[in-house]
A and B are shown apart, each in its own frame.
Chain A
Amino acid sequence: MSAASRMRSAAEGEGRGTRHSPGAERSEGEPKAQPLLEVTDLVVEFRTSDGVVRAVDGLSYRVEAGRTLAIVGESGSGKSVSSLAVMGLLPPTARVTRGSAQLAGTDLLALRPRQHRAYRGERVAMVFQDALAALNPVHTVGYQLTEALRARRGLSRADARTRAIELLDLVKVPNAKARVKEYPHQFSGGMRQRVMIASALAMDPEVLIADEPTTALDVTVQAQVLHLLAEIQAERRMGLVLITHDLGVVAGVADDVTVMYAGSAVEQAPVGPIYAAPAHPYTRALLRSIPSTAGADRGTRRRLPVIPGRPPSPAARPSGCPFHPRCDVAQDLCRTAVPPLTSPAPARLSACHFAADVLANRPPRAAERRDDRPQAAETPTTPPFDEQVPGGDHE
C-alpha cells in the first residue's frame, strides 16, 4: 500500500463519521482512484421458453479498493445475476452477450472458463444469501472453509485446520477451535453467515461480492453481520459489492450506491447525496417507503407510501423509461424515449429525463425545456423531504 492510499484511507475514516449527514459531498475532494473492479455495459440474457430475455441490460459500475458499493434493487432487477456473471457462475441458460468486467486490467468476461475459475475465490469471492443452503450440510465447517486452500494451494491437513480456526476467529465466531469440527446445521443463522463470509475470505480476495448477506437474518443479527463485513473490508482494503434490496442496510456501510431497476442502473451516486436528494423518482420512492419514526414523534402518523404496481418482468419491459408506469412524475416523453444515464450534478448519474428536476425536488418541466443542461451548482443544501430522510433517524 502506498502512502497516497493510506492517506486516502485516513480521509475516508473522516468521511465515515459524516457520511450520513445530508449533503456531505465527501467524494468531491478525493483523488480519482484506479477502480479495482469495473463492470462496463454488461448485458446478460436468459434463454427461456418465451424466447430470449434480458435480465441485465447495460449495467456499468466500478468498485475501488477500500470502498463499498451497494447495488440496490427489487427482486428481479438483475442485481444478483450481474454479480453471478462477474463470478462466471451464471446458470447454463444464461449468457453474457455484451460488456466487460475489468479486474485489475483483466476482463473476466473474456476469459475462458478454466481461466475464469482461477480468479474465483482467489481474487474475487462471493458471499451468498442463505447460508444454510449455501453451505454443504454434509461437510464440517472447517472442511468447507479450507477446501479450496487444500485443493488449490496444497495446504496440509494440519495447516488447513490452523487456517480454519484463524478464519473463524476473524469473523468473530466464539470458540473457533471446537467449532471447526461442527456442521453448518449446528450453527445459528448469524454464525452461519459469518462462516459463509469466512469461507469467502479464505484466499484473501481483492473484491468481495456479498449477495443479500443479511436477508435471511434477524434485524439485530443483520446489523452485526453488516458491521463485521464493513470492518473486514476496511481492514483489508477490499472492494466490497453489497447487493441488497434494503436501502436501510445501505446507509450504514456503503460508500457508493447503484440503484437498479429492470436490469439497468437508474441512479449512481455516493451514499450521502443520494439519501439527501435522490436524482431518480424510483430512488425517491424507495427512500419514501422506508418506515420512519419522525412522523410518529410529532403525533402526525402517516401512511407509509408504497410504490404502486410491480417491477416489470424482463420478458415484458415497458416502452420508453422502464419505470414510467409506476412513476409519480412520468411525462409523455417517458413513455416513448429511453432515458440515458446523465449527470445532473457532479458525481451523480441518473437515468431520468427530468433528473435535474427530481434532484431539485420540483415538478418536471415541460419536455421541450429538457435540453437545458442542469447546473452543477444545483445540488440542494437542504434535504427536500425533511421528515423522511432515514439516515438522520436511524443512527
Chain B
Amino acid sequence: MGRYILRRAVQAVGTLLLVMLLLHLLTTVAIQLNGNPAQAFFGDKVATAAQIAAVEERFGLDDPCYDQVGNPCLGPFVERLGQYAQGDFGTNLRGREVSDIVATAAPNTLRLFCVVLVTWLALGMLLGSLAARRRGSAGDHGIRLTSVLIDAFPVFVLLIVYRYVVAVPLHGWAERTFGEDSWPPYWFKPSFDADHPWATVLVPGILLGLAGSAAFIRLVRASQLESYQGDHVRTARSKGLGERHVVVHHVVRNSSVPVVTAVGLTFAEALGGAVITEGLMNIYGMGGVLWEAVRNDDVGLVLGVVTLLAAVTVVVMILVDIAYALLDPRIRYE
C-alpha cells in the first residue's frame, strides 16, 4: 500500500512538471508569434521603449529568447520553477499577487463545488440505485427519461430561467415572509454576495449539480446493473442474506470504483469549468478569474492559475487512486 502511494505520488509530480512545461512552451510560442505582451500593459497608449523595457523586466519578459521563434526559453522556465518553489506565483498585470487572487476566488469555487457534489452524489446514487434495483420497471424508465431530459437542457438555460424568472419573485417573497435579515432571502438572491457566500451559492450549486447528475445517474445505474448480474450477488443471496445487506455489501460496494472515478473527474472539471455558472450568478471564482485573465492577455495570471489548478487536479487524482486501492483489494495487491 505504501509503495503504491509512493509510486502514484512520483507519477503525479512528473505529470505536474510535464503540464507546467507544456504550458510554458505554449505561452512562449504565443508570445513569440503574437508579439510582446508587455504592450498590453499600456492598452491604447503608446509607450516609450524605456517604459516597455521596465514592464518587460517586471514581468520576466526581458529574456531575448522571447524574440526568437522556436526557442523553448528554458532559462525563464527554470527561473519560474524556482519562484514557484518559494511560493511566489507572480502577479497579474495590475501587480496583484496571483496567490492572493486565488485565495479570494478559490474558496467560492470550492463552496460551489461542495454544493454541486452533494447534490450530484445524492441524486445520482439515489436515482441510479433505484433504477438499477427496479430495472425495466416504469420507475426505471422514468428515471432514465428524466436524466436524458436534464442532459438535453443546457445548464445556462436552467440558470437564466432560474435567475430571471424564478429567483426574483422568490427573493421578494422570502424577504416579505421571513424578513430581510433572515436566511431565506439570501438563498434566492439572484447574484452572489461575498458576505453570505454559502447561502448565495446554494441554489446555483444545486442547479449545477442537478445538471451534472444526469450522466452520473446513468453511470451509477449501469455499474450497479453489472453488479446485480454478477455471480457473487447470487452467491450472497444463496446464503439467505437479506436484500438490504446484499444491495449494500455486494452491489453498491462493488460498483463504487467507477463512482469514485466520476467524482474525481468532476472535481477537476468543476474547478475551472464552472465558468458559466460563476459568470451568470456573479460568483467570484476560479472560472471567472481564468476567463478574465485570458481575455486580458494576462500571461502571468494565466500561468499561475493554470499551474495551481493543475497541481490541485494532480492531488485529486492521487486521492482517487488511493480510494481505488482502499475499495478494491485487487488494485492494492497488484
Interface residue ranges, A against B (CB under 8 Å): 87, 89, 117-122, 125-126, 128, 130, 133-140, 147-148, 151-152, 183, 185-186, 196, 199-200, 202-203
CB-CB under 8 A from A125, the residues of chain B are 238-239
A199 to B241, CA, bound (A): 13
A89 to B230, CA, bound (A): 13
Q: Give residues 112-161 of B contacting A (CB, 8 Å).
A: none
Q: Which of B240, B245, B249, B253 contacts A121 (CB 8 A)?
A: B240
Q: Which of B238, B245, B254 contacts A89 (CB 8 A)?
A: B238
25 contacts between A and B (CB under 8 A): A89-B234, A89-B238, A120-B238, A121-B240, A125-B239, A128-B238, A133-B231, A133-B232, A134-B232, A134-B234, A136-B235, A138-B253, A139-B253, A147-B239, A147-B241, A147-B249, A148-B240, A151-B242, A151-B245, A152-B240, A183-B329, A185-B329, A185-B330, A186-B333, A199-B235
Closest to B232 in A: A136
Q: Which of A133, A138, A196, A203 contacts B329 (CB 8 A)?
A: A138
Question: Can you name 16 extra interface pairs (CB under 8 A) apart from A139-B253, A151-B245, A199-B239?
Answer: A89-B237, A89-B238, A117-B242, A120-B238, A125-B238, A133-B231, A134-B232, A134-B235, A136-B249, A138-B327, A138-B328, A139-B249, A147-B245, A148-B239, A152-B240, A199-B235
CB-CB under 8 A from A136, the residues of chain B are 232, 235-236, 249-250, 254
Q: Give residues 202-260 of B contacting A (CB, 8 Å).
A: 230-232, 234-242, 245, 249-250, 253-254
CB-CB under 8 A from A203, the residues of chain B are 239-240
A120 to B235, CA, bound (A): 11
Which of B235, B254, B329, B330 lies at the interface centre, i.e. has the most chain A CB atoms within 10 A of its CB? B235
Closest to B329 in A: A183
A203 to B231, CA, bound (A): 20
Q: Provided the pairs A89-B234, A134-B234, A183-B330 are in contact, do residues A148 and B241 lie with their beta carbons within 8 angstroms?
A: yes
Interface residue ranges, B against A (CB under 8 Å): 230-232, 234-242, 245, 249-250, 253-254, 327-330, 333
CB-CB under 8 A from A151, the residues of chain B are 241-242, 245
CB-CB under 8 A from A121, the residues of chain B are 238-241
CB-CB under 8 A from A140, the residues of chain B are 329
Q: Which of A118, A138, A183 contacts B240 (CB 8 A)?
A: A118
Least CB distance from A163 to B in Å reads 14
A121 to B240, CA, bound (A): 6
CB-CB under 8 A from B238, the residues of chain A are 87, 89, 120-121, 125-126, 128, 200
Say whether A133 contacts B230, CB under 8 Å: yes
CB-CB under 8 A from A139, the residues of chain B are 249, 253
A133 to B227, CA, bound (A): 11
A202 to B239, CA, bound (A): 9
Least CB distance from A210 to B in Å reads 12
Say whether B239 contacts A135, CB under 8 Å: no
CB-CB under 8 A from B253, the residues of chain A are 138-139
CB-CB under 8 A from B240, the residues of chain A are 117-122, 148, 152, 203
Q: Provided the pairs A117-B240, A119-B240, A199-B239 are in contact, do residues A137 and B330 lie with their beta carbons within 8 angstroms?
A: yes
Least CB distance from B230 to A in Å reads 7
Closest to B136 in A: A92
CB-CB under 8 A from B231, the residues of chain A are 128, 130, 133-134
Q: Provided the pairs A136-B250, A138-B254 are in contact, do residues A152 and B241 lie with their beta carbons within 8 angstroms?
A: yes
Least CB distance from B137 to A in Å reads 10
In the A-B complex, list the 10 residue pairs whose CB atoms are closest, starting with the nearest.
Answer: A120-B240, A148-B239, A121-B240, A133-B231, A121-B239, A136-B232, A183-B329, A134-B231, A126-B238, A134-B235
Closest to A143 in B: B249
A351 to B253, CA, bound (A): 48
CB-CB under 8 A from B241, the residues of chain A are 121, 147-148, 151-152
Closest to A183 in B: B329
Least CB distance from A242 to B in Å reads 16
A122 to B239, CA, bound (A): 7
Least CB distance from A146 to B in Å reads 10
CB-CB under 8 A from B328, the residues of chain A are 137-138
Least CB distance from B235 to A in Å reads 5
A121 to B241, CA, bound (A): 9
Say whether A120 contacts B237, CB under 8 Å: yes
Least CB distance from A279 to B in Å reads 34
A133 to B232, CA, bound (A): 6
Closest to B330 in A: A185
A138 to B236, CA, bound (A): 13
A83 to B240, CA, bound (A): 15
Least CB distance from B68 to A in Å reads 56
A153 to B263, CA, bound (A): 37
Least CB distance from B245 to A in Å reads 5
CB-CB under 8 A from A200, the residues of chain B are 238
A130 to B237, CA, bound (A): 16
CB-CB under 8 A from B329, the residues of chain A are 137-138, 140, 183, 185
A300 to B187, CA, bound (A): 92
CB-CB under 8 A from B327, the residues of chain A are 138
CB-CB under 8 A from A152, the residues of chain B are 240-241
CB-CB under 8 A from B234, the residues of chain A are 89, 128, 134
Least CB distance from B251 to A in Å reads 10
Closest to A129 in B: B231
Closest to A139 in B: B249
